[in-house]
Structure formats: C-alpha cells, structure tokens
Structure 1
C-alpha cells in the first residue's frame, strides 16, 4: 500500500508546476521529506471542485456519514488508501468515488522490500518529473457536536508494475500515479464504474527510479533531506532499480 510520502519542494514551486491561481492555507504547506500517513499531516491537493486551487487536506478520508468524533478517528486509520478495483463497493469511499476526485501532490514515496526475515526501505520517484500527482478522492465531514468541518483524502492504489512488484513484493501494490496528460481527466472524468477503469493501469516502470535508503526512515525525526539519500546495505548490494 502507500503509507509514506515525500513532498520536498516549497509551496511556490507547487503553484508554478500546477499553474494554480490560488493556494489556500499556503503557510501550512512546507517541504516534507518523509511523512507517515499515520501522522495525519496536512497535505497539498487539488480537487475537482476547485481545479485551479491548491489546498491543504488531511490524509485519511472521513466519510460524510461518520456520526461522531470517535467514529471519525477510527475510520480515518482505515481509509488512508483505497483500492481502485473495489472503490465503488466500499461504503467509506463510494460517494467520493462518484463525486469527489483530487490530485495528491508529491515528489516521491517509500516502500519496503522483504528479503528473508528483513525489510529494506526504498525511495521511489519519477525520472523526469520533480513533482507528480497521485489519484485521490476526498470528502468533507462536519462534527455535529462541535460544528467543526474537516476535509480529508485517500490515495488510490492499483496492482504493481514490474518495478514495484519487485520492491513491494509482499503486497505488490502501488499508488495510482497520473501522467500530466491525465491529471485533468482524473478531475473531470472517471466518476463511474466504467470510466474509472482507464485509470487503474499501473504507471510505466520505465519512467520511475528507485533506490534503497537508510532505516533512519523509521526514526521519529526522519523528516530531513537525509532520509532521501541512497544507502547501501552490505548484505544486500543492489541499491538502485530502474
């Protein structure tokens, strides 16, 4: 699945890349070199409702029908990712899948390869694109008790391409990565069981690159540029995959 992201550029660079006219709560978006989904950090997204605007949303989708704060907290830990193949079957995702698509902005992501009894972390990014988009869905939830409103999102996943199947060999999944040419299509189309299938294809492995990184990624203070640096494991010499 996809639980670890990197977004290592300043907000102005994001605005330039997506030609955004507006950037809501821009002060909340800082470079994040490693973020775990379970930290529920605000993350830059672009929604189908405001395709010319970047805004901050929290990872972990809370469906509109969640009854209480406790329900919301429990649900979001299980909605960090959504399998694109079954998205219309899941009550938590169904409404958003039909009506609320978004781009989740990133510069890379992390996955672990299992070799014997050990796991090796990899950093994965695109060869020719500093910033890219993952397909997401989003939702607005209002706490009836406090009146507080939250906007949250989930990242869609699909079957792994050969590169990601080699790295994420335990689950063989990967995020749905959109090319520049399909970003607007994701925001404007693909809102039913038929049209969404065109987005379920794994991204071209020849446009991706990956290398092993240090287990420093598992430390509490791993949100530094050092977390992205290639690291060679003596017992596991292959450190880059193309």
Structure 2
C-alpha cells in the first residue's frame, strides 16, 4: 500500500494548517485514495517557493522528458525513493534541479499479511489534521513539478500494521518543516534529521480490503 496516500482536507483546512495560500486553488480536489498507479497532482511546498502551496505530479520525470508519464513509470519507478538509497539513486543523480519538498496529506495506507489474507489500515494524525510527508521534486522544462516520496524505515507503531515492507512514508513534524526546506540539511545529515524529527502521534484504523478510488 506504499503507493496510496490520502487527502481529505478542505481547501481552508490546508491553508490554515500550512499558513500559506494555495497557488492554484481550482486544482485542488479532496480524494480518499490518491494512487501512484495513475498520473495525479498533489499539493506540495517546495524549497523554491515556500510562500505558496504548489501542485506537483507524483512520480519524478527527467527535465527534458516529453513522452507520457505512464510510459516512464513503466520503465523506472520514481514514485518513491528509500532514504538509504539516496546517495546511489541513478534517477536522482541525473536530475539537475532536484530539491526537497513537503507533501500535504491527511493519511496513507499500510498492508498486513496474516493467515493468507491481507488487511488494510489507514494511518492519520491523532487530531485528524493534515500533515507533511518528505519528498524530492524537480521542475520540468515546461514548468510542471514532479516529485517522489521519501521512504524511511518503519517505526514501531507502523510495524504492528505492516509486514510486506520495512519502509514507510517519511513524516516531517510541523515544527521542523522549515528546516527540511532549508539549505542547512545536507545529504549526509538526512538520516539523522529524520530519526530525530519525524515523530507524530498516529491514529491507525482498519479499512475495507476492497478500497475504491475516489
């Protein structure tokens, strides 16, 4: 379920949480399931523009790429990147304008395999507010933004509800959002930064296994 996130916040809730306006409010639509298997746009805050909530396509693309998004994703999965592979990621190494971003969500999904059956869980903030996931983004030649989710080792809370992978989306605590978007965090310091700043009280609930896209 690493390729499914959720954003059920209203426009006003997103703006209030982030403390900045939506750059293109007409583009935002609430969705219980945002799947990485389809070309979708997601609200993000970028290093380049920290004063507005921008929108980016989920799945990194090369700057000069001019074919279909799906064709590239069929060749190379750029929806996620593991934190321990950042230094040796061939796609990221080839991008000239790669930078960090925050992805705004209200939840993500996990899967637990037990006695031959899968059980799906929805992970959200305890207070049901939006929160931030860490990511990397780049800008295409036509001005569009594309991003990848940063995955880090799952914490103890998630381990109880996920056993098909050892990784989870990387949560960035609101208190450290500005530091994540600053130039003060280098590649060598990212793992330590995440370990110290990613904690957030979570609400985890089981959901119907036949999740429908919205």
Contact 2:56 2:146 in 1 (8 A): yes
Alignment coverage as a number of residue pairs: 212
Kindly report the root-mean-square deviation, in angstroms, between the aligned alpha carbons of the 2 structures: 2.4
Q: Which residue of 1 aligns with 2:164?
A: 170
Q: Which residue of 2 aligns with 1:113?
A: 112
- Name the SS for the 2:78 alignment partner: coil
Deviates more, 1:192-201 or 1:119-128: 192-201
Change (3 A) 1:190 1:116: farther
- 1:97 positional shift: 10
Give the whole-Å Cα distance in 2 for the aligned partners of 1:199 and 1:169: 25
- Name the SS for the 1:14 alignment partner: helix
**Match status 1:150 vs 2:144:** yes
Change (3 A) 1:166 1:172: farther
- 1:2 positional shift: 2.4
- 1:141 positional shift: 2.0
Give the whole-Å Cα distance in 2 for the aligned partners of 1:63 and 1:186: 23
- 1:41 positional shift: 1.3
**Aligned positions of 1:197-212 closer than 5 A:** 197-201=191-195, 203-204=198-199, 207-212=201-206
Which consecutive residues of structure 2, in runs of 5 or more, have no partner in the other structure? none
Instruction: State the structure with bigger RCO (CA 8 A, min sep 6), 1 or 2.
Output: 2
Deviations 1:163-214 (A, max 9, x none): 2122221212111101111111110046533221223328437x11211101
**Match status 1:15 vs 2:10:** no
Which consecutive residues of structure 1, in runs of 5 or more, have no partner in the other structure? 143-147, 224-242
Give the whole-Å Cα distance in 2 for the aligned partners of 1:180 and 1:201: 15
The normalised TM-score by structure 1 is 0.79
Give the whole-Å Cα distance in 1 for the aligned partners of 2:80 and 2:111: 16
Deviations 1:10-39 (A, max 9, x none): 12221111111x422211111111111112
Deviations 1:13-68 (A, max 9, x none): 21111111x422211111111111112211100001111110111101113264x4
Contact 1:44 1:105 in 2 (8 A): yes
Give the whole-Å Cα distance in 2 for the aligned partners of 1:204 and 1:70: 37
Contact 2:80 2:148 in 1 (8 A): yes
Q: Which residue of 1 aligns with 2:31?
A: 32
Contact 2:106 2:124 in 1 (8 A): yes
Give the whole-Å Cα distance in 2 for the aligned partners of 1:190 and 1:91: 24
Q: Which residue of 1 aligns with 2:6?
A: 6
